Amino acid sequence: MSTNKLFVLPGDGIGPEVMAEVEKIAAFFTKEGIAHFEIERGLVGGAAYDAHGKAISEADMARAGAADAILLAAVGGPKWDGVPYDVRPEAGLLRLRKDFNLFANLRPAICYPALADASSLKRELVDGLDLVIVRELTGGVYFGEPKEIVELGKGQKRAIDTQVYETYEIERIGRIAFELARKRRNKVTSSEKHNVMKSGVLWREVMIDLHKREFADVELDHMLADALGMQLVRRPKQFDVIVTDNLFGDMLSDVAAMLTGSLGMLPSASLGEVGAKTGRRRALYEPVHGSAPDIAGKGLANPIAMIGSFGMALRYSFGLGDLADRVEKAIAGVLAKGLRTADIKGDAAKSISTSEMGDAILAELRVA
């Protein structure tokens, strides 16, 4: 059985609490001989600043680079509000994304049947929803040059952002989306605005070309980004994998997130190129939520987003799709039994703690 090297960064606030639940599950898989995980732990964010005066140490960067996958919980909190800008907690996360060139952000939106009533949409529209948004993360209008505000005189200024994409950037994100679709329901929807943007014209051309050359077995369709926003709230279950640029992806992934209810339920992955040392695609898995300082240390945090992020690592870094399915089924099973942490309590009579939720998912995994 191959060893899967996980580098774990619990970070700040509720981070260590939710990460502890993932470690329980990984230890269970290892102990039972289901899969073998070797776990190293490091510091990031405020915790790293307190220990080393940096948001992540060079030693931890090196260990992150040698791992098959990085699992990060969350960084930040009021304690570090006053620290110098370049060593603020978020700098640790940004450094990981930048140094490992994590250009693809995957945000699944899964609606567990037991939570369908927590969505702002009608139950029948979201019950059983399972889509992924693949957002380009390192290019486009957030990074393009020129990016400036120019003084024009007479009280006038001009603000400029530049939307720019090159063929290779579109191809590599497209490849991620098609590969992902092959592990799911085999359908990709590519989204841009080729009707008004040159970058959209190129995006569409490159996707069509890539599809023809390498992924003809996958269904590909195209949808303008504004229409896609509308379809996401009208009939979200029509989508499997959506691939789009940095700006549209930023907005559309937040819309999709709200289809599913709580922040405590949402995992994510950021993927880069295949690493020369590991032969595996560089990958960082993290929940969408932050460090939630308001509930930290109280056992109130929902660990499902963190456990779901581990599930994504199983599927996309370790090729353990069956095990990822088991984890998702265990989460669904626990929710179907009516067990809830405080954030998803709804009308339930009582809620359970972070570790009780972790234990319940583990118990479900044991019988699965």
Instruction: Report the catalytic residues.
Output: 142, 193, 226, 250, 254
- Tracing tokens 């791992």 back to the chain, one arrives at 67
- Cβ neighbours, 10 Å, residue 2: 9
Question: Residue 140 or 264: which CB sits closer to ligand NAD?
Answer: 264
39 near 8, Cβ under 8 Å? Answer: yes
Closest contact distance (angstroms) between CB of 290 and ligand NAD is 2
Interacting residue with ligand NAD among 137, 141, 301, 360 (CB under 6 A) = 301
Closest contact distance (angstroms) between CB of 14 and ligand NAD is 6
3-state secondary structure of 38: strand
Interacting residue with ligand NAD among 10, 16, 76, 200 (CB under 6 A) = 76
Binding to ligand NAD (CB under 6 A) within 16-75 occurs at 74-75
Binding to ligand NAD (CB under 6 A) within 304-323 occurs at 305
Give the residue ranges of DSSP H helices in the chain: 15-31, 46-52, 58-66, 89-99, 123-126, 167-182, 198-214, 225-234, 246-258, 304-316, 321-336, 354-367
Residue type, 84: P
Q: What are the φ and ψ backbone dihedral angles of 108, each rounded to 5 degrees?
A: -75, 150
Binding to ligand NAD (CB under 6 A) within 235-264 occurs at 263-264
Q: Does 333 engage in binding with ligand NAD (CB under 6 A)? A: no
286 near 12, Cβ under 8 Å? Answer: no
Closest residue to ligand NAD using C-beta atoms: 290
Q: How far apart are CA 167 and CA 240, in angstroms?
A: 24
Half-sphere exposure of 77 (CA within 13 A, CB side): 22
Strands 104-110 and 267-274: antiparallel
Provide the mask over 183-222, with x wherever binding to ligand NAD is found by CB under 6 A and - wherever it is not: ----------------------------------------
Interacting residue with ligand NAD among 113, 144, 275, 293 (CB under 6 A) = 293
Q: What is the size of the binding site for ligand NAD (CB under 6 A)?
A: 20
Closest contact distance (angstroms) between CB of 275 and ligand NAD is 22
The DSSP output letter for 146 is: E
Closest contact distance (angstroms) between CB of 365 and ligand NAD is 20
Closest contact distance (angstroms) between CB of 79 and ligand NAD is 9
Residue type, 160: I
Interacting residue with ligand NAD among 192, 328, 343, 364 (CB under 6 A) = 343
The DSSP output letter for 140 is: G
> What residues line the site for ligand NAD (CB under 6 A)?
14, 74-77, 93, 263-264, 286, 289-295, 301-302, 305, 343
